[in-house]
Amino acid sequence: MSGKWIEPGKTIGILGGGQLGRMMALSAREMGYGVAVLDPAPNSPCGQVADLQVEAAYNDLSGAEQLAKVCDVLTYEFENIDAQTAKWLEENLYLPQGSELLSITQDRLTEKAAISSYQVPVVPYRAIHTHKDLEEAVEELGLPAVLKTTRGGYDGKGQRVIRESSQLNQIWDDMQGSGPFVLEAWIPFDKKYL
């Protein structure tokens, strides 16, 4: 179905009801599309401007089925959508970007490996499974650096900036149980005004 034309008047389904979904919904409505959103939070930012909000968890198949009944095409607005739900929707509805891309982007290590496989540069990083991995990666990459969960973090959640070696134990303790992690080198940049 690649390249399938979805004409105005049809309904676009959005998995995830955050701010990006809201911006997408507003643009879609300006172009004459209907919008339905699936999000567990009542009155989500996207749901506020959508024609319909299905209030269901991202792994709730009955919610996904309800969304599929009213949509002509489907997309997602962030990567923390349940991959099995997305796979079911891909098999039962038109999901142009597919569920495989979602699965790749849900894990920072998998995502970095995929991007690197196309010779696209990524920030220097190391996989972190143990405190010793963290110590060795800090030694190799230097400080400051950013420790991130590989799954589930977004908008700064699941991330800690490490500025000094003395912070390693406390940050490791604070983030314990939410690993594995990825440690990324700090990339300084200057914002220039034109």
Which domains, from first to last, does the chain contain?
11-105 (3.40.50.20), 108-185 (3.30.1490.20)
Q: Encode pLDDT of 153-182 as tens digits.
A: 766 678 999 999 999 999 999 988 677 999
Model confidence, pTM: 0.74
Tokens standing for residue 71: 């949509």
CA dist., res. 114 & res. 116, Å (int):
5
For 6-46, write each residue's pLDDT tens digit. Answer: 999 999 999 999 999 999 999 999 999 999 999 999 999 99
Confidence class of residue 130 from pLDDT cuts 50, 70 and 90? very high
> Edge to edge, what strands does the sheet with 125-128 contain?
125-128, 181-185, 145-149, 159-162
- Say if residue 101's pLDDT is above 90: no
Tokens for 98?
Answer: 């597919």
